[in-house]
Amino acid sequence: MEELFAGFTSVGYRQFIMYAIGGALIWLAVKKEYEPMLLLPIGFGAILTNLPLSFAVGTAQEPGFLRILLDAGIMTELFPILIFIAVGAMIDFGPLFKNPLMIFFGAAAQLGIFATVLLAVALGFDLKVAAAIGIIGAADGPTSIYVAKRFAVQYLGPISVAAYSYMSLVPIIQPPVIRLLTTKKERTMRMEYREEPVPRLLKILFPILVTMISGFVAPISVPLVGSLMFGNLIRESVVLERLSQTAQNELAYLVTLLLGITIGSTMSADAFLRRETLLILGMGLLAFVFDTAGGVLFAKFLNLFLPRDRKVNPMIGACGISAFPMSARVIQRMAQEEERGNIILMQAVGANVAGQLGSIVAGGMVLALVPLLVR
């Protein structure tokens, strides 16, 4: 008789909290349209995982479909890599090629990663876990998942949820930080943009040579950089239009769907309802704040050395995070609000795609350096 009612007797209040968290993520996706492609599957995955006896997850002996997806897609690092191919096919580096100086904001805005690592260590996490938490500051979901899987698989759920949630909250997180660090005069600065065609040779050689440079500087970053650049090469070669469209659409949608529900499956009550989860969510938010501050302050520093006609609107620095194209749109909207007709969108997009490069390079650096330090 007891077995008949196992569905009712095998859950506790912790599972109900997880249903509420899953429901909240679905609400954010449906009602607020915050990263719906990810938050909805993550939310539903969280509910599935916490249902009585979790048959969707199963056991090691009799795995359910979520465990199979986790083992096949996350533990093998396949899903993040496939997402990178899709993202690479979506990225147009053109705005960056027209204003290469923007690339340095893609570096400066990675400050949040390393500042958060220091904070996490100060709060008592070991270096590997701290590095995985810090990488939330990459503002790049696949990189966060990739690094978390290597260094802190037990926190994969909270780290992924933080990374994707805060990416969707960029319009709320970035503006106050930018306003705090800049003057009205700085925010109304105009920037000249020249519309010139980008040579095809540059577009084709760039992904190949970037992959090779990354291979020499940080060999461990090659899977990340290589897959991103492979996708970009498919796009820029022009001769593989169907493959490019497949990568940008079918591949991206399918893997995102599976990735989301699989991440949700790591959010069992036992793994998620911990003090550490709250700390990770808090530090993830700070990582985005530090990123934004790093980019803006670096732009102001750079302006000390640039000639008057080439000075940069410091808000552009905030676009050095990888949340593409959200961050660029936010900055353009702020520029418009500060002064009607101030168009800095293309420079912002340039810094934003540089952020994509910066985040995976930073991920590679973390992957390369942490094992050297904890050896």
The residue ranges that bind other proteins (CB under 8 A) are 96-97, 100-101, 103-104, 106-107, 110-111, 113-115, 117-118, 120-122, 126-127, 130-131, 199-202, 205-206, 209-210, 213-214, 217-218, 354, 357-358, 361-362, 365-366, 368-370, 372-375
In the complex with other proteins, the residue whose CB is nearer, 18 or 361, is 361
Q: At its nearest, how many Å lie between other proteins and the CB of residue 362?
A: 5
Q: At its nearest, how many Å lie between other proteins and the CB of residue 52?
A: 40
Q: At its nearest, how many Å lie between other proteins and the CB of residue 209?
A: 6
Q: What 3-state DSSP class applies to 63?
A: strand
Residue 63 dihedral angles phi and psi, to the nearest 5°: -70, 140
Q: At its nearest, how many Å lie between other proteins and the CB of residue 287?
A: 13
The DSSP output letter for 220 is G
In the complex with other proteins, the residue whose CB is nearer, 34 or 114, is 114
In the complex with other proteins, the residue whose CB is nearer, 200 or 310, is 200
Q: Which residue has the tokens 């769907």?
A: 257
Q: At its nearest, how many Å lie between other proteins and the CB of residue 299?
A: 14
The DSSP output letter for 304 is T
Q: At its nearest, how many Å lie between other proteins and the CB of residue 201?
A: 4
In the complex with other proteins, the residue whose CB is nearer, 175 or 231, is 231
In the complex with other proteins, the residue whose CB is nearer, 18 or 357, is 357
Listed in order, strand segments (DSSP E) in the chain are none
| Rounded Cα distance, 95 and 92, in Å | 7
Q: At its nearest, how many Å lie between other proteins and the CB of residue 86?
A: 22
* Residue 341, Ramachandran bin (φ over 0: left; ψ between -120 and 50: alpha; else beta): left
Q: What 3-state DSSP class applies to 58?
A: strand
In the complex with other proteins, the residue whose CB is nearer, 262 or 356, is 356
Per the CB < 8 A criterion, the answer to whether 173 and 320 are in contact is: no
In the complex with other proteins, the residue whose CB is nearer, 35 or 276, is 276
In the complex with other proteins, the residue whose CB is nearer, 6 or 118, is 118
Q: At its nearest, how many Å lie between other proteins and the CB of residue 218?
A: 7
Per DSSP, the residues of 94-148 read HHHHH-GGGHHHHHHTTHHHHHHHHHHHHTT--HHHHHHHHGGGG--HHHHHHHH
Run of H or E including 281 = helix 275-303
| Rounded Cα distance, 131 and 129, in Å | 5
| Rounded Cα distance, 195 and 95, in Å | 9
Q: At its nearest, how many Å lie between other proteins and the CB of residue 232?
A: 13
| Rounded Cα distance, 305 and 307, in Å | 7
| Rounded Cα distance, 162 and 259, in Å | 15
**CA nearest 269: which of 11, 7, 8?**
11
In the complex with other proteins, the residue whose CB is nearer, 63 or 94, is 94
| Rounded Cα distance, 233 and 241, in Å | 11
